[in-house]
Amino acid sequence: MRPLHSVVSGLMLLSGWASLATAETRNWHTGVVLDSQTVRRYVGSHVSGSETGTLTTSDYGYGVSGTYHGESTGTSSAIYRVDELYYIKCDGYVYVASQRLRWRWSKPARLVVNKEVQVAIVKDTMYLLDEAGQEYKTSILKRVALPGNNSDPPPSSAVQRLSDREGAQLPFAIASLAPITSDPPGCSIEINGIFHGSTPSTISLYPGTYAVVIRKEGFDVWSRNVKINGGPSVSVFAELKREQQP
């Protein structure tokens, strides 16, 4: 009987061969990495709690009655969905593709902005080969035709970099990362009336004006209108003042 580690090693080797064979048979094109960013979105909260107490009972002969005294405690933690967004120019189109980072140890593709990347497109899926030759599967969120392109992407690897054209602009809005901090920390964050976790936190926001409200029990509410212009980063710092005692 073969040792377990030998069986596992053999399965991993076969998996690597299968992955390599699949990568070699894909219809690869050469694209250019325009940008990439990590998007962290609040999706809900996980609530847990416990309760302890004592129950005192008495028997009066006609039934049992009792009194319960107890207390409960609970905690709430925010749950976020993390995606890596890639902006890839290839064959007359700009693609916005998303890689879901499901686990804390999940890593995005190792790509360099303004460098070439090998791309294979199958329906709504984009496969990427990073610098180490590792293949990554992403979902295409958007496809934007560049000016002068009125046909489907041709089977060509010729790429004209957007950075080579003076004043060229991306034909879509790129979200900005907004680090939100506060004094004291641990304040709740509301953006346009929607809860987005607690400070400190970094939130992805598209260009526009947002009503940001920071709250914490025992402190006055902090609120501002924050304008996002599509730059790389916009920092928000909220300094809360303690409520005046009556």
SS3 label, residue 96? strand
Per-residue pLDDT tens digits of the chain, which is 246 residues long: 455 555 445 544 544 444 444 455 889 999 998 888 887 776 666 667 677 767 666 656 555 566 666 676 766 666 777 888 888 989 888 888 999 888 888 899 999 888 899 999 998 899 999 888 899 999 998 888 876 665 544 333 333 333 333 333 444 455 566 788 999 999 999 988 888 888 888 777 777 888 999 999 999 999 999 888 766 567 889 999 998 876
Alpha-carbon distance of 128 to 138, in angstroms, equals 8
CATH 2.60.40.1120 in the chain, residue ranges: 176-239
CA torsion sign, 182 to 184 to 190 to 192? negative
Tell me the C-alpha to C-alpha distance, in Å, between residue 158 and each of 29, 106, 154: 9, 32, 10
Q: Which residues, other chains included, contact 186 with Cβ-Cβ below 8 Å and sequence gap of 6+? A: 198, 199, 216
Could you tell me the pTM of the whole model?
0.49
Q: Which CATH architecture has domain 176-239?
A: Sandwich (2.60)
- For 233, which DSSP code? B
Which residue from 205, 228, 204 is spatially nearest to 83, judged by alpha carbons?
A: 204
What confidence tens digit (pLDDT) does each residue in 63-117 have?
Answer: 556 666 667 676 666 677 788 888 898 988 888 899 988 888 889 999 988 889 9
Task: Give first-to-last CA distance, the chain, whole Å.
Answer: 79
Q: Which residues, other chains included, contact 105 with Cβ-Cβ below 8 Å and sequence gap of 6+? A: none
